[in-house]
Structures are given as structure tokens and as C-alpha cells.
Amino acid sequence: MNNKKAHWIIWSFTIAVFALVIILHEMPGAESAPAFTAFQPMLHAIINGTCFILLLASLFAVKSKNIPLHKGLNTLAMILSLVFLLSYVVYHHFTGDTSYGGDYRGLYLFILLTHIPLAGLSLPFILYAYYFGMTNQIGQHKTLVRYTYPVWLYVTLTGVLVYVFLAPYYGA
């Protein structure tokens, strides 16, 4: 695949994800949620936590010059992120949003209001970093990862924290 085709795919996918999220918030919710949705918030936290660990392990692998392991860990993190995205869309279609009712509202809102835009805005950059790494365009990969990696790490960690804050309120 050449860079022009990759550019088109990355931006098409990014626009499709943004459109899906916007449509999700504008669509009327389902009348009832299937039973499996009760387990999805915890699944999302597990996926985010696993991606966080995979990203740390990936950093260790590249620092140890184990490039095949580095690529494999990043591929697994990408696959899990796609599974997360699909599950997240399904969950929110059936359940809508969950409101936080606890005592740490300011902290929760800070985490949530940094998590959401960083998750969305980082998507094309994560995809580019992955593409550059997999196609051995190491200069571009390193330049992009310098900024993208800490953001992706933050998004995966705060995804777990959002779950921890909201866990008592799911299904309430």
C-alpha cells in the first residue's frame, strides 16, 4: 500500500468513526437493552486496561530492540481498540449515557472531558503511527509516536478510570 492510499483509508475510517459517534448521540435509544449490555462497561474497562499494559510492554519491547514483539503488541492493541469501538457503539445504542452521581464530580468531569476529545482527536494519528511503523517508515513513526503514544496511553488509562467512577451507576 502506498502513502496516498493509506492516507485515504485513515481519513475515511476516522470520518466514519466520528460520524458514527455523532449519529449514535442523535438517534433515539432502543426501548430495551439486551442482557449482554450489563457486562459491556466492565469489558470496556478490561480492554482499555489491557491496551494500557500492551502499550507499556510495546515501549519496553522497542527499547529492548525487539521490533517483532513491538509490532505484535501494537497490532494486538489496535485489534482490541477496534473491538472496544464496536462494543462501545453497540452499548451506547442500547443504553445511552450513564450519569455520575458521586462526590468527586469535578475530578470525574476533568478526566472525562480530557478523555473524550483526546480519544477522538488521537485516532488518525494513532492510525498513521501504526501504518508508518508497519511499513518501516521509522523516521515518520518515531516523530509521530513521540506525541501520540503518551496520548493513547492517557486515553486507555482514563478509560479505566471513567469505568471506576461510573461502575456504581450502571443500570441504575
What distance in Å separates the CA atoms of residue 74 and residue 130, rounded to the nearest whole number?
8
Q: Do residues 15 and 23 make contact, with C-beta atoms less than 8 angstroms apart?
A: no
Convert the pLDDT of each residue in 113-172 to its tens digit: 999 999 999 999 999 999 999 999 999 999 999 999 999 999 999 999 999 999 999 875
Least confident interval from 32-36, 51-55, 164-168: 32-36
At 95 the pLDDT is: 85
Element (H, E) at 33: none
More confident site: 56 or 171: 56
Report helix angle 67-95 to 3-26, nearest 10.
30
Residue 99: DSSP 8-state = -
Q: Do residues 87 and 157 make contact, with C-beta atoms less than 8 angstroms apart?
A: no
Q: Do residues 87 and 24 make contact, with C-beta atoms less than 8 angstroms apart?
A: no
Q: How confident is the model at residue 20 (pLDDT cuts 50, 70, 90)?
A: confident
Q: Do residues 48 and 163 make contact, with C-beta atoms less than 8 angstroms apart?
A: yes
Q: What is the CA radius of gyration of the chain?
A: 17
